[in-house]
Amino acid sequence: MEPFGTRLRHAMDERGPLCVGIDPHSSLLTAWGLNDDIAGLERFTRTVVEALAGTVAVFKPQSAFFERFGSRGIAVLEKAVEELRAAGALIVMDAKRGDIGSTMAAYAETFLHKDSPLFSDALTVSPYLGYGSLKPAVDLARENGAGLFVLALTSNPEGAEVQHAVREDGRTVGATVLGHLAAENAGAEPLGSFGAVVGATLGDLSSYDLAINGPLLAPGIGAQGATPADLPSVFGAAVRNVVPNVSRGVLRHGPDVTGLRDSATRFADEIRAAVDPR
Amino acid sequence: MEPFGTRLRHAMDERGPLCVGIDPHSSLLTAWGLNDDIAGLERFTRTVVEALAGTVAVFKPQSAFFERFGSRGIAVLEKAVEELRAAGALIVMDAKRGDIGSTMAAYAETFLHKDSPLFSDALTVSPYLGYGSLKPAVDLARENGAGLFVLALTSNPEGAEVQHAVREDGRTVGATVLGHLAAENAGAEPLGSFGAVVGATLGDLSSYDLAINGPLLAPGIGAQGATPADLPSVFGAAVRNVVPNVSRGVLRHGPDVTGLRDSATRFADEIRAAVDPR
């Protein structure tokens, strides 16, 4: 399989640069007229897959909203991942895993091994145990043509407590993560497979070097307040590598299939116009 | 239900201060003569439950080793959690979750809500998104008599990159996490419910204030190199609040039930003698 970065570049060029988050929280199930139970979760997920699988470039299922129903919720997630991938979409599993040694290897096996029922194109991971702790995931991703998105600079205000702390060399924790990723992606064409999570709501990021030659997963568009038009000023020259994520902004139009499809197309068009105004 | 801290204190006083990690990685399944598949996982887990459920104070299942089998692995974990709790043991689910807002609330619901199939007595969580991001989990834990163990100072060398970085007030990220936990546990008797993960292999911790009035989960005893006798010098006056975790050191004696039981008893005795030499 081609590397994740290559596949992502092509998918965003073909389908438009949009990642739709699949976040079936209870308020959304209720708004769709569904019960907050496993049947509601199943119905919600099936509708999203049917409406969007063939048109959206990237999906980001939020693992927590499936895990909360235990093994039966995970079974729903497995089926969705399989169907979305079969329809040519890419999956970024938003699970924010992070551990060391054989445990990190087991998480990698869960989400990045081609024989796993949860095999995804990429996984979000947390570097609290140090970037080096993620090595088993980096290695398995390379082997299977998959990728990672490492939490670097998140959009919530509390994140600064950790991410803006300064190391002996004068760089912040967030900048250090970006530096590791730039090294990981060196020489990759057209785009490396090792991305960062960087909030679209952060405002001015000019003090950070976002030129990591890898994708930048940017939550926060739509309901969280950022708009497609904000992307160039936030991400500067790196804007073409941004994977803008919209969750509620699209999902609130369900369960109407046409409504879901139209809003996804509209966001993809607006993002393309803002990012690549040729 | 009584708060987790109270239940933990009593469990460690009664059964001895030992937490046994349940880490069914493939090499361990092989060493037990089992296949590295769902049947092997089931057999391994059932054996650990049968051998140790009634004698060990605390179990720490490592979620990753169940997740790698997808929804079927999670079903094995659900059954084990239910049986261990029914036998009077406490469960610290080692899942290292960390997210923001409604997603963190969903993780909390998964592991800390009494109606969830994965309801555990406590959950390990990661503060990379800032300690404040964990609030939904703190709140739900309080409501359900459960607890948290927040990653503070981990035993792996790469962890320093994040955990030793310094904030504007001059404190490190790790010390900041400990400070938040001390505030959370203020006034709790006999022990707060909000603990920290602090590696037993870290050597001298005297520059950190470990008096958080909460439990300190300490991996690293046994196969990772630390011994029960090291605990007083590493943890100082906080040693009575340490929950020392042994995984391979016990599990390598399986599948022999007597071997598992004897080694757990031996570790619990050695730890009690080192920690509370009355």
ipTM: 0.97
Say which range, A222-231, A253-262, B54-63, has the weakest mean pLDDT.
Answer: A222-231
At B204 the pLDDT is: 80
Residue A277 located in a structural domain: no
State yes or no: pLDDT of B42 exceeds 80. yes
pLDDT (mean) for A74-79: 98
Chain B (17-46) residues lying within 8 Å, Cβ to Cβ, of chain A: 23, 25, 27
State yes or no: pLDDT of B223 exceeds 80. no
At A202 the pLDDT is: 79
Say how many domains are in chain A: 1
pLDDT (mean) for A31-51: 98
Residue B107 located in a structural domain: yes
- Between A38-52 and A257-275, two packed helices, what is the crossing angle to 10 degrees? 50
Q: Which residues of B touch A130 (CB under 8 A)?
A: 156-163
Chain A interface includes B3 (CB < 8 A):
no
Residue A278 located in a structural domain: no
List B194's β-bridge partners, or say none.
B148
Can you give the CATH number for the domain in which B218 is found? 3.20.20.70
Say which range, A34-48, A52-66, A220-234, B143-157, has the weakest mean pLDDT.
Answer: A220-234
CB-based contact B102 A154, cutoff 8 Å: no
Residue B278 located in a structural domain: no
CA distance B65 to A63: 17
Q: Whole-number mean pLDDT of chain B?
A: 95
State yes or no: pLDDT of A208 exceeds 80. yes
Residue B229 located in a structural domain: yes
Q: Which residues of B touch A126 (CB under 8 A)?
A: 96, 98, 126, 128
The residue range of the domain holding B188 is 4-273
State yes or no: pLDDT of A65 exceeds 80. yes
- Reported confidence tier of residue A131, pLDDT bands at 50, 70, 90: very high
Name the nearest CA neighbour of B198 among B211, B189, B187: B211
CA distance B223 to B220: 7
Nearest CA in chain B to A197: B129
Measured between alpha carbons, how far apart are the two ends of chain A, in Å? 31
B96 catalytic residue (yes or no)? yes
At A276 the pLDDT is: 80
Point out the residue among A77, A132, A165 whose CB comes nearest to the CB of B158: A132
Mark out the alpha helices in A151-256 (DSSP H runs): 160-163, 173-184, 231-235, 248-251
Q: Whole-number mean pLDDT of chain A?
A: 95
E strands of chain B, at which residues? 19-22, 58-61, 90-97, 122-125, 147-153, 194-198, 216-221, 242-246
DSSP class of residue B230 equals: G
List A93's β-bridge partners, or say none.
A123
CA geometry: angle B93, B95, B96, nearest 5 deg: 120
Residue B170 located in a structural domain: yes
pLDDT (mean) for A87-101: 98
State yes or no: pLDDT of B278 exceeds 70. no
Q: Which residues of A touch B138 (CB under 8 A)?
A: none
CA distance B99 to B102: 9
Residue A170 located in a structural domain: yes
CB-based contact A128 B162, cutoff 8 Å: yes
Point out the residue among A62, A74, A106 whose CB comes nearest to the CB of B65: A106
Residue A9 located in a structural domain: yes
pLDDT (mean) for B162-177: 97
pLDDT (mean) for B135-143: 98
CB-based contact B102 A25, cutoff 8 Å: yes
Say which range, A103-112, A183-192, A231-240, has the weakest mean pLDDT.
Answer: A231-240
